């Protein structure tokens, strides 16, 4: 039977890539909503800025983790369970952008660097969360993968980022099916033009499909954080398979 939430049940989550951008915004919104959150990222300093906030005392844990390293993921996730007792939520968020320049000039290492974080890292975190959530009591949990509008329509010269985000959509669809017997709900959030370091250049002008350069509108990254908190608040018998949040006037519908 799917577990029903009650006020006395601790809610424990992991946010990867929590040191900046969407991950940071989501972690803060979840903490404000009463969750206990493990903040994972390559650099521990920005994670500690959140964890040491008085408002979140005792409910935030900062862990340095490279998600492209399967052993590091296993160690970090096991540390979360040892600290908080269980795992109810994974916001599978960590990701990197495209290498610079046209893809014809990339080295194999540049390609693998994107795949290692955006695809391998997503899988390693998903896999470890499945193992924990399916074995704990009460059983189950929720996983939210960070896709992108690029999972549906590419931008010019975005082949590495776009390919990995299409692959994330495949992970989401497959894992949502495989999670059913274990009471694990898997969905995806696709974000368009949130104001983060990854997207800040859009305000100054980015290449369009017709060959022009144009500035694009951005939304406050806190809006995305609130969307993640909403998805996390749902009971496990309900799942949002795909959730899109984007700047209203950005070129996506009708792109090209």
pTM for this predicted structure: 0.91
- Residue 116 — pLDDT band, cuts 50, 70, 90? very high
What pLDDT shows up at residue 196? 73
Domains of the chain (ranges, CATH numbers): 12-246 (3.40.50.720)
What pLDDT shows up at residue 203? 66
Residue 4 to residues 8, 142, 185, 234, 241: CA-CA distances in angstroms? Answer: 11, 13, 13, 10, 20
Q: If you search the block for the tokens 């951005």, which residue do you land on? A: 218
- Residue 197 — pLDDT band, cuts 50, 70, 90? low
- Copy the structure tokens of residue 20: 């900046």
Which SS3 state, helix, strand or coil, does residue 12 take? strand
To the query of whether residue 161 is one of the catalytic residues in this protein, the response is yes
- Residue 217 — pLDDT band, cuts 50, 70, 90? confident
Q: What residues pair up with 239 in beta bridges, in sequence order?
A: none
56, 91, 106, 161: the active-site residue = 161
What pLDDT shows up at residue 3? 44
- The CA distance from 152 to 217, in Å, is 19
- Copy the structure tokens of residue 204: 């100054």
Q: What residues pair up with 39 in beta bridges, in sequence order?
A: 15, 62
**Mean pLDDT of the 55-75 span:** 97
**Mean pLDDT of the 216-240 span:** 95
47: pLDDT strictly greater than 60: yes
- Residue 4 — pLDDT band, cuts 50, 70, 90? very low
- The CA distance from 221 to 211, in Å, is 28
**Mean pLDDT of the 208-222 span:** 84
């Amino acid at each position: 039977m799917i577990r029903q939430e009650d006020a006395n049940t601790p809610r424990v989550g992991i946010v990867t890539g929590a040191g900046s951008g969407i991950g940071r915004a989501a972690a803060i919104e979840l903490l404000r909503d009463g969750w206990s959150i493990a903040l994972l990222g390559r650099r521990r300093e920005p994670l500690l800025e959140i964890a040491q906030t008085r408002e979140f005392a005792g409910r935030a844990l900062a862990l340095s983790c490279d998600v492209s390293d399967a052993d590091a993921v296993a160690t970090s996730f096991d540390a979360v369970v040892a600290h908080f007792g269980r795992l109810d939520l994974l916001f599978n968020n960590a990701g990197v952008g495209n290498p610079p320049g046209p893809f014809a000039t990339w080295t194999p290492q540049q390609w693998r660097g994107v795949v290692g974080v955006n695809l391998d890292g997503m899988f390693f975190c998903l896999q470890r969360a499945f193992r924990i959530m399916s074995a704990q009591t009460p059983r189950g949990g929720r996983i939210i993968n960070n896709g992108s509008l690029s999972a549906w329509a590419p931008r010019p010269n975005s082949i590495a980022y776009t390919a990995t985000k299409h692959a994330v959509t495949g992970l989401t669809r497959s894992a949502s099916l495989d999670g059913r017997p274990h009471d694990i709900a898997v969905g995806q959030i696709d974000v368009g033009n949130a104001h983060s370091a990854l997207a800040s250049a859009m305000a100054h002008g980015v290449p369009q499909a017709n060959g022009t350069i144009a500035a694009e509108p951005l939304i406050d990254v806190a809006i995305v954080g609130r969307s993640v908190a909403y998805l996390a608040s749902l009971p496990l018998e309900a799942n949002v398979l795909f959730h899109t949040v984007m700047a209203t006037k950005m070129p996506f519908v009708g792109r090209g």
